[in-house]
């Protein structure tokens, strides 16, 4: 079970870093509404560019903390729970704008991975 927790921890973190650094300006087919990049997606949700940057910084920070958690395990659970909470918000935004489930499957997947990480990596140490 510990290996599954560590794999979920790594996968969730790398997924978030990929979205915010590699796919930021790309049309992925999973963006909210008809958005073709991150800025347009936040506009679909009625959020500002400043809010986009704040959310991005928080998610990247949490993902980084999850990776650092391999060396400092006490970081893993709080960072995983924080990322899972952001994913609940992302899923909620997709639902708010009437997106089909396909468009929020990545958010649901990262939520699942972050939750598995939080549970299987145990309490803060």
- Predicted confidence at residue 123, as pLDDT, reads 63
| pTM metric for this prediction | 0.93
- What DSSP line would sit under the chain, residue for residue? -HHHHHHHHHHHHHHHHIIIIISTTS--S-SSTT-SSHHHHHHHTT--HHHHHHHHHHHHHHHHHHHHTTTSGGGHHHHHHHHHHHHHHHHHHHHHTT--HHHHHHHHHHHHHHHHHHHHT-S--
- Predicted confidence at residue 125, as pLDDT, reads 45
Q: 79-106: per-residue pLDDT in tens?
A: 999 999 999 999 999 999 999 999 999 9
Examine the pLDDT at 118 and tell me if it is beyond 90: yes
Percent of the chain whose predicted confidence (pLDDT) is above 70: 98
Once rounded to an integer, what is the mean pLDDT over residues 8-33?
96
Once rounded to an integer, what is the mean pLDDT over residues 24-38?
94
């Amino acid at each position: 079970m510990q290996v599954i927790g560590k794999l979920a921890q790594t996968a969730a973190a790398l997924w978030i870093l990929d979205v915010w650094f590699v796919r930021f300006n790309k049309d992925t087919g999973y963006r909210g509404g008809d958005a073709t990049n991150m800025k347009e997606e936040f506009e679909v949700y009625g959020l500002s560019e400043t809010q986009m940057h704040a959310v991005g910084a928080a998610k990247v920070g949490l993902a980084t903390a999850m990776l650092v958690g391999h060396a400092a395990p006490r970081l893993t659970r709080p960072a995983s729970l924080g990322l899972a909470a952001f994913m609940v918000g992302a899923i909620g935004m997709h639902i708010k704008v009437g997106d089909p489930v396909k468009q929020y499957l990545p958010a649901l997947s990262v939520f699942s991975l972050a939750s598995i990480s939080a549970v299987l990596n145990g309490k803060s140490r």
